[in-house]
A and B are shown apart, each in its own frame.
Chain A
Amino acid sequence: MSEKKRDELLHDHNHDGVDRRGFLKCMAWAGTGALCVMQGGVLKSYSLSGMPKQEFQAAGELSFVQISDSHMGFNKPANSDVVGTLKAAVDKINGLATPPEFLLHTGDISHLSKPAEFDTVNQILTSVSAKDVFFVPGEHDVLNDDGRQYLERYARNSKGAGWYSFDKKGVHFIALVNVVNLKAGGLGTLGREQLEWVKQDVKHLKHSTPIVVFAHIPLWTVYPEWGWGTEDSAQALAYLKKFGSVTVLNGHIHQTMQKVEGNVTFHTAASTAFPQPAPGKADSPGPMKVPSEQLKSVLGITDVNYVRGRHALAVVDSTLA
């Protein structure tokens, strides 16, 4: 394991130990399986492949994993075995040095909202090392019944179309739904009622509380031509402006992407089912076929670690390869 001295801070504008250039550089490495961790005010990166098994066990106080877009029921050339690749993701999670405390599934659990599809995902996830799984719906999970089945299965104690929040080790998690009541020609949408709820939900939290928001469609505008954005997310983010650390975890686009804007780090996860093309690199955002031996290298999970007192959460993507 080699330390990279060139990542030392050059400009610590926010006095939070995060150098924007270094952070962005680190995020680029994350896509290839790197671990970026804040240690003593310096952002350091380590290649995952070179690491011994018990790395960073003590470093993380809170560890969780994000998976996304399992699309159970999909059965086309891009991946004829979404069961197998979801199981491979579970194996990957179970092989992590630090077992995650829980999972976040950022939606499109099923492909056609069929009961058997949900059942299969639930069954596969019982083998995961994490104790709990928290979900948000994707547009494929709320077909035919305005999301009633999704609510019953995954969000019984939620409000509205399935939004809720919870706390873990001092980190506040906010689950948002931006896939219902979609308007013609539009993007994802949160809606007045949910936005008002967000405002009230965070009203009394200390500014130093780290916030993690998770929702299916990206909360920043990745590529509007393909509907990759949320119309009214700016309002939600405005309610979070006072917080020093906000991490936004999304899915929907079936590829990893990161963006840092002020106090907010945006991150999208890979799918466990099939990849989609990079923005504008194909006619449409549909399933992208790759040679079968490459499939696992374009699917993946996201490991997130939080160390109390540190500012940014360490977000690490790894593929199923």
Chain B
Amino acid sequence: MSAAIVLVMVALGISGLGAEKGNFAASAQAKSQTLEVKIDNFSFGPAELTVPVGATVTWTNRDDIPHTVVHPDKLFKSKVLDTDETFSFTFTSAGSYSYFCSIHPKMTGKVVVK
């Protein structure tokens, strides 16, 4: 029982450390983290993705029609992605990033960076 309490305290301590600094352990983990959005059936899946600052998001087109990934203010803009082609972008600042397919503008998605 006491070992368990110690473990919990250590765990809290470590997480507390991470929260205080807000960076070292968390960002190191984020930099190696690649999160995925699948493009299929004229939609982005998941339509809204939440990622930590510094994470890289990779979009993969699984549809049988080409698509693009474009931010309205051109913060990021993929070339045309044919089936199985990918596009990646690393989000270095927190914020909410809506994007759409410039070929089929009804296709929209969002990446929330916290």
Residues of A that sit less than 8 Å from B by CB? 76-78, 111-113, 139-140, 143-144, 182-187, 224-227, 283-287
Contacts and interface: CB of A to CB of B under 8 A. Distances in A.
B64 A287 contact: yes
Contacts of A186: 105-106
Contact of B80 (A144, A182, A183, A184): A144
A185 B108 contact: yes
Interface stretch (B17-25, B86-94, B96-104): B96-104
A78 B105 contact: no
Interface residues of B, number: 22
Contact of A185 (B63, B66, B103, B106): B106
A143 B42 contact: no
B15 interface: no
B72 A184 contact: yes
Q: Is the interface of B mostly helix, strand, loop or mixed?
A: loop
Contacts, number: 58
A182 B105 contact: yes
B114 interface: no
Nearest to B83: A76
A143 B104 CA distance: 12
A112 B82 contact: yes
Given A76-B64, A111-B66, A284-B42, A225 B103 contact: no
Contact of B105 (A76, A113, A140, A185): A185
B12 interface: no
A21 B103 CA distance: 37
A287 B82 CA distance: 14
Contacts of B64: 76-78, 286-287
A113 B42 contact: no
Contacts of A284: 41-43
A184 B105 contact: yes
Interface string B25-59: 00000000000000001110000000000000000
A27 B73 CA distance: 44
Contact of A113 (B72, B80, B106): B80
Contacts of A185: 100, 105-106, 108
List 7 A-B pairs, minimum CB-CB distance, nearest first: A184-B100, A284-B42, A227-B106, A182-B105, A284-B41, A76-B64, A143-B80
A227 B66 contact: no
